[in-house]
């Protein structure tokens, strides 16, 4: 597994070693031994999977303390633009976003640390998105940011007229209306 640091502390891109031949391919999608060199151990307790069609944008979501979540995300089928925004109080990259393309071909994974608002846009006709969480979902502790906040300057790639966004996500506040993640 090749681990690539990003501009945001604690966020890493993971590129697995894929063995392929005429039969197909094999790779380890998860092993704790790959994350140990990062100096932190994660106890992933929940796996989630979502299927969405082209144009769907989910996010930008997070869980508030004490139920904040680290996520390890990947795409099983299709392609997404995966996006995080650093919302950690005092972070040198507070308010900065980072986008990574994840797809069934590159098999990249994205380790999203606590204190990030997270979302993704489906770029293929359909995508199956899978992720691990190191804490359970608590609806009473969820938060989010507006995906169209001009301060974030996120290029979702999908033209606005083709974006499919839940009514709930459209009501999320901008970064300036949000209290930093403690």
pLDDT at 51: 98
What CATH fold (topology level) applies to the domain 2-177?
Answer: Jelly Rolls (2.60.120)
| pLDDT > 70? residue 179 | no
At 173, list the tokens: 């506040």
117 in Cβ contact with 145 (< 8 Å):
yes
The answer to whether residue 61 is catalytic is yes
pLDDT score at 128: 98
**Omega before 94 cis (within 30°)?**
no
pLDDT at residue 42 is higher than 80:
yes
How many DSSP H helices and E strands does the chain contain? 2, 13
Q: Of 42, 61, 62, 118, which is the active-site residue? A: 61
Catalytic pick among 42, 62, 120, 131: 131
Which pLDDT tens digit goes with each residue over 66-114?
999 999 999 999 999 999 999 998 999 999 999 999 999 999 999 999 9
Query: How does residue 181 score in pLDDT terms, banded at 50, 70 and 90?
Result: low
pLDDT in tens, 132-162: 999 999 999 999 999 999 999 999 999 999 9
pTM for the full model? 0.93
Q: Residue 180: is its pLDDT beyond 70? A: no
118 is a catalytic site residue: no
């Amino acid at each position: 597994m090749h681990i690539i640091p990003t501009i945001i502390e604690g966020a890493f891109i993971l590129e697995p070693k894929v063995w392929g031949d005429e039969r197909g391919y094999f790779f380890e999608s998860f092993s704790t031994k790959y994350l140990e060199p990062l100096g932190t151990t994660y106890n992933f307790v929940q796996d989630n999977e979502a299927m969405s069609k082209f144009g769907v944008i989910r996010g930008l979501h997070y869980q508030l303390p004490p139920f904040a979540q680290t996520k390890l995300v990947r795409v099983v089928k299709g392609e997404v633009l995966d996006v995080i925004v650093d919302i950690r109080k005092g972070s040198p990259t507070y308010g900065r976003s980072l986008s990574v393309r994840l797809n069934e071909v590159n098999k990249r994974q994205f380790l999203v640390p606590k204190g990030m608002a997270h979302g993704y846009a489906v770029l293929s006709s359909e995508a199956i998105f899978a992720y691990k969480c190191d804490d359970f979902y608590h609806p009473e502790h969820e938060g989010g940011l507006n995906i169209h906040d001009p301060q974030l300057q996120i290029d979702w790639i999908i033209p606005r007229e083709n974006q499919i966004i839940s009514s709930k996500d459209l009501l999320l506040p901008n970064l300036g209306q949000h209290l930093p993640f403690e």
